[in-house]
Chain A
Amino acid sequence: MHNDEISESQESSQKHVRKVAFILATGSYQREAPTTVLRLAEKLLERGIEVNVWAFEEAVTLTNRDQIEHNEPPSLREVLGDRHAPIGRFIDQLLRVGLHGTKMDWVTCILCAQERGVERHQIGGAIIGTLGDLWKFVKGADQVIAIPVYR
C-alpha cells in the first residue's frame, strides 16, 4: 500500500464514486480478466461501492451453473489441490455479499447467452438482460470500466 499516493489522488479528485460498472466479454478459461474483475469488485464492495457487471459475448459462460469442479492431474494435485473450482462459484459468493452489504448485480446478455446455449443454465443470482440494462448501468455509474478482449 502507498497511502501517500492514495491521499494524493483523492485530494485532487472532484468525484465521489458510489457505483462502478464493469463491461466484460472474456469467458471462462480464456484470460485472467474475469478473475481480476472479481478480485477488484470484491475490493470495491468492501469499500461500500456498488458494482454492476454487464457480461456479454463469451463472458456469459462465467455464470454457467453446469460448470463443475474438475480434478487436477495427479502430478499437480500437491500444488493446486484436488479440485479446480469454476469461476461461477466466486461470482455466486460476491452476489451473496449483497444480501447483507453492498450489492453487486450481474447481468448476462440474453442474445449472447442464447447463441451459446447457456440462457437456461445461469446461476441463480445472474440476471438475463438486454442492452437496455447496459445503458442503465452506464448511465447510472460514477465510473465505467470496459475490459477489452484480445483479438
Chain B
Amino acid sequence: MKRFLVVESRDLTEYTSGTTLMSLVEGLGKSGDEVVLFLLENGVIAARKGADAGQGLSRLSDRGTRIFAEDVSCRARGIAALADGVRESSLDFLADAIAGGFDNIVWY
C-alpha cells in the first residue's frame, strides 16, 4: 500500500480542476492506497459545514480518506463548524505527517 498526501490550497469550487482532484483522491482510495487530504488556505472553504462541496468531502471520508482542515485557515475565513468527516488540524500535524514520509505529495 502506498501513502499519498494531497494538500488542497485552492477553493475546490473555484476551478473545474477541483473536481478532478477529488476524483484523484477517490481513485487512490479505491485502489487501496492510504490517502490523507489536508485542506488549507482557500481549500478549507469547501469544508464549511452546510456547503455543497462539504458533502463530497463527507462521502470521501466515509470511504476511508482522512480529511483535515488547517485551523489558522479556518479562523481566517470565519469557519467555526466543519462538514462531517473533516477534522480540524494544524501545520504541526502537517509537519509531523510529512516527517513520517509519503510516497508522493500532491500540492494543489
Contacts and interface: CB of A to CB of B under 8 A. Distances in A.
B8 to A, nearest CB: 11
Interface of B is mostly: mixed
Q: How large is the interface on A (under 10, 10 to 19, 20 to 34, 35 or more residues)?
A: 20 to 34
B101 A33 contact: no
A46 B98 CA distance: 13
A75 B82 CA distance: 33
A40 B107 CA distance: 13
Contacts of A5: 66, 68, 87, 89, 93
Contacts of A12: 1, 3, 34
A2 B101 contact: no
B40 interface: yes
Interface string B30-68: 000010100011100000000000000000000000101
Given A14-B101, A47-B99, A33 B9 contact: yes
6 contacts: A2-B89, A33-B9, A40-B91, A49-B99, A145-B7, A145-B105
Interface of B: 1, 3, 7, 9-10, 34, 36, 40-42, 66, 68, 87, 89-102, 105, 107-108
